[in-house]
Chain A
Amino acid sequence: MKFLVKTLVIIFYIFTILNVKAEEYSLFNNIDYRLKAGVNLGASTPMPIPNRLSNLSWSPNIGPFIELSIVVFPDSNIGLSAGTKIEYKKMDVSASVYQLYSEINIDNLLTKGYFTGTNETHLDVSYLTIPLQGIYKINHNLEFVLGFFASFNLDGNFYGAVKNGYIRAGDPTGERTDIEFSEFDFSDELRNLDWGCIGGINTYLTKKLYLNFQINLSLSSLLNTNFAGIPYKLYNLYSSLGLMYNI
């Protein structure tokens, strides 16, 4: 909640400045307010995907978003946009895991060791996101979008299960014991701030309505950096498809 309040203050601040600036300088007399809604589809994934994971099976899990942004055009082709967005990023992935260091929950106790077997992971996080973007109008039909985003974690779940496998206690030479089913929950390890870059396009459907496609790549780790339960850093990599209305 602390983050939410901070964020709202920042957004308010940005909007105010943009508005004031826009009024002060005739250069910025071309102002758009854009309302955008759509869906996120993607995954939170290690990069590159380690070869100890195979048979990845990803089930589409759609996360909606809604965004309001203000765009100023200092130049007829170039615009600057700031917005605020409520979005969900969701994922369901199952993978075959081969000798991967894991911290799993057996018997409500944290167990550390090397796991081989099947891993199923579910993620759903809601973010309050502030995108800051540059817009480049190629022609009357097409805009390029490039920028950054900062996302504040409002609420999130990151949990799953390991099954049909075995774990070796401590290290790969430790005692081997079978695991039929065991759950883990790393929800508390989700970081409060996630940031990264945006690249995308807007195409005009009508004069007021655009189709937006963009890729949102996090450059910060999804989970706390000192968290050792997964030996890889996970990054949010989500594409989004939306309709945008120029108010």
Chain B
Amino acid sequence: MNIFSELLVKFFFLFSMFFLYSCEQGNPLNMEADILTINFVENILIQDIKVTSSTINIYLDTNIDLSNLTPIITISKGASIIPSSNIPQDFRNRVIYKVTSEDGNWTREYSIKIFSNFNWEEDFENWTCGYNEDFEVPLGWSSGDAGVAILNKFLPNYLKMYYLTSKSTNSYNGKYSAELKSQKGIGSEIVPSLMAGSIFIGNFNTIYAMSDRLKCPQFGAIFHYDGKSEPDRLTGWIKYVPGEEYINQEGVLDKNCSDTCSFYAILFEGIEPLNAYNVQTSDRIIAKAIMNGKEAKSFYSYVDIPFEYSRPIPKNVPLQMTIVASSSKYGDIFSGAPNSTLNIDDVKIIFK
């Protein structure tokens, strides 16, 4: 009987101890090892670069000395970075930064390279693979494949998608052209029923890949206006074979429609990039050069599109420009024909 009451006491003691200690103490340590933003002491950018992937390519259309630039890098809370921020580096070659999380268990490597003297001409001869990534983009460009890559990370093997942009030996000039191809998707919550191949000048922000896809492309790169050389015409060599079965916005086959491609350049003001919602409609747009899709032929043909100015180029404001090409004109609303294929080569903006 005594044993029994003793047991009872012990039981209730244990039980109360249990409640006292039932919450882990302290704040959890951060596991993230991200570079959040990059800028430079030398003031070569118009705004901080918001980093979302391990490969950071920075394109400048001016010619500056890259051998001794001092980056200002912000990282995840509590994380550490080697080499340190604020130490000059030679950005003519890739600089690898290694970030270690606050809890010390996770590391992430980033590679940063700066390309200077980008002159708004592209022959699509130089391609680059993202650092730790397996899709190729023309050097200096971004593509929607960054979105395909992140969806693939979440999808099981049997649903993984092909990349939509590749280098093709079917070129107009030189060894390669850029080949963009539309692809049928499974048409679900995160995978649209049609995905168009796209390349553009700007960055692809993967954060919105599953929540708000049209915010992923961040169109625009710095355009230094010298006061006289206005962008005048967008030119390029284009070959386009539309796919046979057109899928409309509802994901349904539409026999009355045929696919067209898109190719355009936008000059705009401001430090924020444009996205797929406002790239052709923002009130920050100064000039547009937009190809009428019907000009495209099934063999290489030259397109020459004049910029149409809605107002003169303002002085002393940051300017940006972007060039965009897509294998389905309405790929942004996930409408188009699977297998529509756009080959594009020797793109050039001609200045006055």
Contacts and interface: CB of A to CB of B under 8 A. Distances in A.
Contacts of A45: 22
B191 interface: yes
Interface stretch (A32-40, A86-94, A169-177): A169-177
A51 B28 contact: yes
Contacts of A136: 4-5, 8
Interface string A34-77: 00000000000101111110000000000000000000000101
Q: In which size bucket is the chain A interface?
A: 35 or more
In this complex, which of A99, A107, A110 has the most chain B Cβ atoms within 10 angstroms of its Cβ? A107
Interface string B164-194: 0000000000000000000000001111000
Contact of A114 (B26, B31, B208, B212): B31
B87 interface: no
B153 A48 contact: no
Nearest to A108: B188
Given A47-B22, A49-B24, A107-B188, A176 B207 contact: yes
B211 A178 contact: yes
A172 B52 CA distance: 14
A142 to B, nearest CB: 12
Contact of B210 (A106, A108, A199): A106
Contact of B107 (A51, A106, A144, A173): A173
Nearest to B189: A107
A113 B149 CA distance: 16
Given A49-B22, A172-B106, A166 B11 contact: no
Interface string A158-199: 000000001011111111111110000000000000000101
Contacts of B21: 48
Contacts of B159: 109
10 nearest A-B pairs in the assembled complex, by CB-CB distance: A172-B31, A169-B153, A51-B24, A178-B211, A173-B108, A107-B189, A107-B190, A107-B188, A175-B150, A51-B28
28 contacts: A47-B18, A48-B21, A49-B22, A49-B24, A51-B24, A51-B25, A51-B26, A75-B1, A77-B1, A98-B28, A99-B28, A108-B188, A110-B156, A111-B154, A113-B154, A114-B31, A168-B32, A169-B153, A172-B101, A173-B32, A173-B33, A175-B150, A175-B153, A175-B206, A177-B209, A177-B211, A179-B211, A197-B11
